Structure 1
Amino acid sequence: MIKRKNLLPIFFVILVVISFTAIAIVNLINFEDYVVADVLQISGSTVIIGNNCTAIISDTSPERAQAIDDGIRGIMQQRPGTYDIFSDILKSFNISLEYVTLDSFVNEIYYSNLYLKSGSKILKLDVRPSDAIALALRTNSTIYLNKTLLNEVGKKIC
């Protein structure tokens, strides 16, 4: 019997592929409102992501922090994880992860989006920031951080 947990990555990929047939072009971000961000440090389950001397310091689960750290180091565990599998599926279907945006912080929750491209179609997906970052690192995609978010929540680290 196949467990529901094992079907989640397959369901997600099917959803993405079907979405590309239904969605043409979505509004892209205004790049003037964003800065390119880097994951500056992982410490336990704390992720520090920022631009220059300002960063957002956020906690996530130990598993997600490890997935982000593996992405930074280019490490694949003994068996592929969900992010590795999803990255491989994107490549196999000629879908590129154009970029990731970290957009807002509302009611103690961070919000982000993936921008996927297949041919001339672009799909914007609402995702958890930790998932977006882990996938962006595996696909060498740019991570953009909203300037307003960085100014409101960011901390000076230099």
Structure 2
Amino acid sequence: MQELRVVGVRVELPGNQPILLLKETQGERYLPIWIGAVEAAAIAFEQQGVRPARPMTHDLLREVVRALGAELEAVNITEMRDGIYIAELVFGNERVVSARPSDAVALAVRTGAPIYGADDLLDEVGIEIPDEQEDEVEKFREFLDQISPEDFGAGSGSGGSGGGGPA
């Protein structure tokens, strides 16, 4: 397993499909995951420190986990099966719960839990961005700093973890 960090969420054009972009902390590969608009907004809200008046679903889940005396130890993105990414939530009591990567990452950014990607998965679908495109990644980061979660709109997407559909 390789530790990953959240680079951010962007919208792929022309389909307006949000993409979660993760990158190895000790490597050069990126893991792009197509996600739903609601999950994109949830991740972007947390990254930008936006606090809604009432808890969002992932905020509620964090509080439920705490209330039950558990702690999210890690998020593992383990494989892609039939074009769908598979993730798991690993809790301190050694319990593992299957989850969509978008939900798992939204919870991880709220709890500070590390995110890992399986070596086989990164070998299969990880992408390297050539040096000349690193400037584009930096521009993307700057873009993320300038947008608000409302730019994503909480549309009808249910979120999922598909390769070409919502994650």
* TM-score for both structures, normalised by structure 1: 0.72
The equivalent residue for 2:53 is 78
The equivalent residue for 1:49 is 22
Q: In structure 1, what residue type is equivalent to 2:6?
A: V
| Distance (Å, rounded) in 1 between the aligned partners of 2:28 and 2:52 | 32
Displacement over 6 Å in runs of 4+: none
Q: What is the CA-CA distance between 1:72 and the residue it aligns to?
A: 2.2
The equivalent residue for 1:94 is 69
Percent of paired sites with the same residue = 27
The equivalent residue for 1:147 is 119
| Distance (Å, rounded) in 1 between the aligned partners of 2:112 and 2:48 | 12
Contact 1:76–1:84, Cα closer than 8 Å, also in 2: no
| Distance (Å, rounded) in 2 between the aligned partners of 1:94 and 1:74 | 25
Q: In structure 1, what residue type is equivalent to 2:23?
A: G
Q: Which residue, out of 135, 144, 149, partners 2:107?
A: 135
Q: What is the CA-CA distance between 1:157 and the residue it aligns to?
A: 2.0
Contact 1:74–1:138, Cα closer than 8 Å, also in 2: no
| Distance (Å, rounded) in 1 between the aligned partners of 2:104 and 2:33 | 14
| Distance (Å, rounded) in 1 between the aligned partners of 2:22 and 2:53 | 27
Higher relative contact order (CA 8 A, sep 6+): 2
Q: In structure 2, what residue type is equivalent to 1:37?
A: L
Aligned residues: 122
* TM-score for both structures, normalised by structure 2: 0.69
Q: What is the CA-CA distance between 1:85 and the residue it aligns to?
A: 0.7
Q: What is the CA-CA distance between 1:41 and the residue it aligns to?
A: 2.1
Residue by residue, what CA displacement relative to the aligned partner does 1:93-142 show, whole Å, maximum 9, x if unpaired? 2210010100001111000100112xxx3210011000000001101101
Is 2:129 the counterpart of 1:157?
Answer: yes
Secondary structure of the structure 2 residue equivalent to 1:101: strand
Show structure 1 runs of 5+ residues with no match: 1-33
| Distance (Å, rounded) in 2 between the aligned partners of 1:96 and 1:74 | 21
What is the correspondence of 1:1-150 to structure 2 with a 5 Å cutoff?
34-44=1-11, 45-51=18-24, 52-117=27-92, 121-150=93-122
Show structure 2 runs of 5+ residues with no match: 12-17, 131-167
